[in-house]
Structure 1
Amino acid sequence: MRLRVLTPSFGKFSVAPRDRADSLSLELEHRTENHPKSGRELITALDGAEAVLVGLDRMDAEVFAGCPDLKVIAKHGAGVDNIDLEAAAAAGVTVVNTPGANADAVADLTMGFLLMGARRIREAEESLRSGRWDVFFGTELSGKQLGILGFGRIGRAVAKRARSFDLQIAAYDPFVPDEAIAAAGAQPQSLAEVVAGSDFLTLHLPGGEEPLLSAQHIESMPRGAGLINAARGGLIDEAALVSALHDGRLAFAALDAFAAEPPPTDDPLLQAPNLIATPHIGAYSDIANANMGTWAVEDVVRVLQGQEPRFPVAAPLL
């Protein structure tokens, strides 16, 4: 059995995925140059492959038509927005991912963003390094409301951490029943209610064709609120976010994801005040890297051996 590995992050911070592949007699073939790949370049890289591990590589109908030997795609992560699930199903290709493998890593980063923004840590550090000793008054977390948009594994992991800071938690998720949200210690609310009523707002939903947070939503946020996005860049109307940071409606925004990645250096968003920005590092931790690679390898072997995978991803019902 062989697995064509396209993402350079596979096993980058842990030997566990490679060791697990060895123990399962799964041979790894690396084609990690020029990541992510798409179109003809991707078809060439997958020539003759039955199994592939992808990162952000775009798997569409053209690729499936050009890779008739392909049986299984494993996503090194949870989000499968770069994989055409309907085209995969039509081609008879099984898609698996690793949901929850990076939940704690992303939740940790989210709390780091929250503390940095509320206590103005980035501004204070820049002041000190420039030779000044300025005073920065911040916001305490206790008693404030944290709004969580997306209450899956990551959202619940954020809520668990937030309760330790005595934050009140409100949550919205179109895919999770209100009863399940309440059972996890959060107040279920509508999207508009969470956005308009939260001192801090964090996003943990998959991306779509249109931004989840429109200009109107951002305008409805309390003045002085903080916004965190460690999910997908397309979730936010970035032009509206730039305006909200410039006019002071938002005290800060912390982003680990952008509509265009990497964003151009002259992107107005990168020039906005009170912005904390990182290059999509949420899943880059030792444990998450071990989990994603190991779980993907195990499911690839299950599929190639004719067994049911642990984490199958089905095409959406129309």
Structure 2
Amino acid sequence: MTKKVLITPKSFQKHKQKPMEMLEAVGYEVILNTTGRTLTEDDIIEAAKTGVEGIIVGVDPLSARVLEKCGDLRAVSKYGVGMDNIDLERAVQLGIQVKNAVGTNSISVAELAIGLMFESARHLSEHIERVKKFDWDRIMGTELTGKHLAVIGGGQIGKEVAKRCRGLQMDVTIYDPFFHDPAFLEKYGVKYSEDFEALTRSADVITLHLPATRDTKHMINADVFGKMKPTAILINTARGELVDEQALYEALSGGQIAVAAQDVYSKEPPEEGDPLLSLSNFLLTPHLGAFTKEAVERMAIRSTENLLEMLKGGE
């Protein structure tokens, strides 16, 4: 039986030539996602139920059910970093190796987070749209220089944001219970806090860079919003589940915080009529943090290398 590999990310195809050559060189038949959309559980089961030894997966769901139905699956390589769409516990039980492409999209996501900070502070898109309608009215903005930035999550992306925002002369503090890098703090003049409540209360801008887990789900909730500055900006380029969206709607519409800008949402794309999208102070981009030429190319190569490494190790 021919050995197969399933590749689900839509953007993978933009840089598929070298990865496919790498896979085909060792005898794998490559199955690509040609639907133009994220695959469903049933789609993945149908494609990978027999003969598929490895999957390179994007945000498509690899639940326990999917993993159990893919009888020949030995390895899953994440095209990116966050692995909350993969049932890691069940993968371990089934003897399926899982690895992510650490560091491949950090710069792209960090740059988007900072772009959303400028957008939130200066209302750029709204001004551009007004001028196109021959409206020359302006909205007063704020500077980022000197503002207190709380970076929630001190992994690679959080560090990239912190470094760049220090260059913008912002006062940067990292919160992350698992952060242990005093050399980084000293080198870039970044502070560290173990007090989440005090930090979110004092921050002018809060940016989220951590995975969605049982512990982090809705960590930004009504209680947090109630203690934030009314001028505060919330940036989320990590996972939609980190923010309680009902509480966010109430905070934005009630003036508890000024602006929220997200690249992620609990349901992507959001349903038509979603109340948050009716608010002018809520900004949402279509999960494009890692969608740059450079990041896509790095993720395609690294995720393929990781998959081949795992498959070879399991032979």
The two structures have a TM-score, normalised by structure 1, of 0.90
The one-letter code matched in structure 2 to 1:240 is A
Q: Using a 3 Å threshold, how does the CA distance of structure 1 residues 261 and 161 change in structure 2: closer, same or farther?
A: same
Match of 1:205 in 2: 210
Distance 1:51 1:122 in 2: 42
Match of 1:110 in 2: 113
Aligned pair partner of 2:190 in 179, 186, 193:
186
2:106 aligned with 1:99, yes or no? no
TM alignment of 1:1-318, pairs within 5 A: 2-12=4-14, 15-18=17-20, 20-21=22-23, 26-33=28-35, 35-46=37-48, 47-177=50-180, 179=182, 182-183=185-186, 185-189=189-193, 190-209=195-214, 210-306=217-313
Contact 1:31-1:45 within 8 A present in 2 as well: no
Q: Using a 3 Å threshold, how does the CA distance of structure 1 residues 51 and 13 change in structure 2: closer, same or farther?
A: closer
The one-letter code matched in structure 1 to 2:310 is V
The one-letter code matched in structure 2 to 1:298 is E
Distance 2:257 2:192 in 1: 24
Distance 1:50 1:104 in 2: 31
Shift of residue 20 of structure 1? 4.6
CA deviations over 1:221-257 (Å, ceiling 9, x no partner) = 1111111101100111111211222223322111101
Aligned pair count reads 308
Contact 2:222-2:251 within 8 A present in 1 as well: no
Contact 1:246-1:273 within 8 A present in 2 as well: no
Distance 1:267 1:151 in 2: 31
Distance 1:161 1:69 in 2: 44
Contact 2:6-2:32 within 8 A present in 1 as well: yes
Distance 2:19 2:85 in 1: 23
Distance 1:193 1:24 in 2: 54
Aligned-residue identity in percent: 36
Segments of 5+ residues of structure 1 without an aligned counterpart are 309-318
The one-letter code matched in structure 2 to 1:305 is K
Contact 1:178-1:188 within 8 A present in 2 as well: no
**103-112 or 233-242, which moves further after superposition?**
233-242
Match of 1:314 in 2: none
The one-letter code matched in structure 2 to 1:204 is H
Distance 1:121 1:130 in 2: 15
SS at match of 2:313: coil
Q: Using a 3 Å threshold, how does the CA distance of structure 1 residues 300 and 242 change in structure 2: closer, same or farther?
A: same
Distance 1:288 1:79 in 2: 14
Match of 1:316 in 2: none
Distance 2:308 2:4 in 1: 9
The one-letter code matched in structure 2 to 1:201 is I
Contact 2:151-2:208 within 8 A present in 1 as well: yes
Contact 1:154-1:204 within 8 A present in 2 as well: yes
Contact 1:72-1:300 within 8 A present in 2 as well: yes
Distance 2:114 2:199 in 1: 18
The two structures, once aligned, show a CA RMSD in angstroms of 2.1
- Highest relative contact order (Cα 8 Å, sep 6+), 1 or 2? 1
**70-79 or 243-252, which moves further after superposition?**
243-252
Shift of residue 207 of structure 1? 1.1
Contact 1:11-1:289 within 8 A present in 2 as well: no
Contact 1:5-1:32 within 8 A present in 2 as well: no
Distance 1:160 1:14 in 2: 32
The two structures have a TM-score, normalised by structure 2, of 0.90
Shift of residue 286 of structure 1? 0.6
Distance 1:180 1:21 in 2: 40
CA deviations over 1:260-299 (Å, ceiling 9, x no partner) = 1111120011011222211111010011101111011111
Contact 1:245-1:273 within 8 A present in 2 as well: no
CA deviations over 1:187-226 (Å, ceiling 9, x no partner) = 1112112211111111011113430101110111111111
Distance 1:234 1:128 in 2: 35
